[in-house]
Amino acid sequence: MAAAATSAELLNPLMARIAAGERDALRQLYDATSAKLFGVCLRILSDREESEDVLQDVYVTIWRRADRFDAGKASVMTWVSTIARNRAIDRLRARGPMAYAEQVEELEIPDGQDSAETLLSAADDRNRLQGCLSELDDRTEKVIRTAFFEGVTYEALAKRMDAPLGTVKSWIRRGLAKLKGCLQS
Amino acid sequence: MSEAPDLTEAEALAAEHALGVLDARERADAENRMARDPAFAADVEAWRQRLAPMLDSIAAVPAPQGTWARIERRLPANDDRMAPANDNGRLLDRVRFWRNSAMGGFGAAAAALVAALVVGNQPATVVTREVPVQPQGQLLSASVVSQDSRVQPLFVAAYDPDRKQLIVTSLLPEGSDRDKVHELWLIAGKENPKSLGLVESGKAKVIALPTELLAKMADGAALAVSLEPPGGSKNPDGPSGPVIGVGKLSKL
């Protein structure tokens, strides 16, 4: 997706129009963001059919909640991506506990290698987060990424990693505290 | 970065909720807390912001053909313009419906806005006023909703720049909050909220706006209502009691 197509100048006014009930504005937002959001759903669900289903939910949700979008708090892209991620994780959870049977080691977790295109889009936030995540110890980074992309609960994480729940909890809490400190510095 | 201070218990919980590691019951608790604790909700939001850039590295994949058509079919108010579109669209659709029917003019639209909202709601006084001319300026409307349950608006307001008037209607049951009053505020930019006066439960009121406030009545400004002791807020620069609802002004 070209950086220009997702710029705030283009997307912010769309949100106001969607909030006012303009269907054409939702269509424009769909054109500008659906490939990205479908990618997010697919990354979390690994299933095209389910991902398309969730993608529909996502745009219906955006339509209903557009009036709650606050340009001062989030970029449109972040806002809609978060909705897509949360919806996809809800769907993942609905599959039941078996969905979490996989071992952490076997999961393919992208190591943050970026294509030239995404690098060019100059996502400072992403680069900063990437940098701060990589400063965590490997295990903590992996656990946080796994939790984020799969919505895996503490309990399931503890089972997967064969570690006591309290231990996993303290890894994550410490990791999040460090992350915050690093992002602020 | 090894000496990062621990997160407070509340912030840790907010971060865990944003990350998604809580179990179903804890998640429900966190959602409830977000609804009644704005500071906690802001923490969760801030954590979502911090973590969201992880999504940026995911490659875009074109959505299957026909997805848009399926989304469009699922949008409410497809055929029936009286059906809810979205929170604002519903109001606007109704207003447009009424405005286009017979009478026209701002008064009718505003009255219809009130009338339409009162259906299935608490009884409220309906204002009907004679308005002879079609307005020239940009009409604005706001629906003031509570942060906990955003389903039913608590107040609705419509602003007519030509008449320099704001019509505000309380949709709360008449006589509710007997020992308290509801004070209406205009929130524009970074300035302190400006009081627009008191609004009685279940009543509609026409507020003539002072000149210095007219420029602030713009798309994106917001109205808020606070619960105050009789006589209104003791603080000249903003509410002294809890804010029970807010709503953005948007073009009608």
pLDDT score for A55: 97
Q: Residue B183: what are its φ and ψ, rounded to 5°?
A: -110, 135
A38, A148, A157 ranked by CB distance to B51: nearest: A148
Which chain A residue's Cα is nearest to B252? A20
Averaged confidence pLDDT in chain B = 74
Q: B178 by DSSP, 3-state: which?
A: coil
- Its CATH class, for the domain covering A1-95, is mainly alpha
- Its CATH class, for the domain covering A111-185, is mainly alpha
Q: What is the interface pTM, i.e. ipTM, of the complex?
A: 0.80
Q: State whether A60 and B16 contact (CB < 8 Å).
A: no
pLDDT score for B84: 41
Averaged confidence pLDDT in chain A = 82
Res. B73 pLDDT band, cuts 50 70 90: very high
Ramachandran sector of residue B188 (left: φ over 0; alpha: ψ -120 to 50; beta: rest): beta
Summarised one tens digit per residue, pLDDT across range B119-160 is 444 444 444 444 444 445 677 888 887 765 555 678 888 888
DSSP assignment letter at B209:
P
pLDDT score for B3: 59
Residue A51, pLDDT above cutoff 90:
yes
| Residue predicted with more confidence, B179 or A131 | A131
> Which residues on B lie below 8 Å from A59 (Cβ)?
71
> Which residues on B lie below 8 Å from A67 (Cβ)?
86-88, 248, 250
Summarised one tens digit per residue, pLDDT across range B37-55 is 889 989 998 999 899 989 9
Name the β-bridge partners of B224: B185, B246
> Which residues on A lie below 8 Å from B146 (Cβ)?
none
Which whole-number Å values give the CA distances from A145 to A110, A141, B24, B53, in the listed order? 9, 6, 20, 12
Q: In a mutagenesis test of the A interface, which of B23, B34, B57 is the best target, namely the one with the most A β-carbons within 10 Å?
A: B57
The domain locations on chain A are 1-95, 111-185
pLDDT score for A17: 92
- Cα of B98 to nearest chain A Cα, Å: 17
User: ∠ CA(A12), CA(A18), CA(A23), 5° rounding?
Assistant: 130
DSSP assignment letter at B240:
S
Summarised one tens digit per residue, pLDDT across range B172-221 is 777 666 677 888 988 887 778 888 888 888 777 888 888 888 888 887 78
Domains and CATH numbers, chain B: 9-57 (no CATH), 133-251 (2.60.40)
Residue A121, pLDDT above cutoff 70:
no
Res. A166 pLDDT band, cuts 50 70 90: very high
Residue B90, pLDDT above cutoff 60:
no
Residue A184 forms contact with B (CB below 8 Å): no
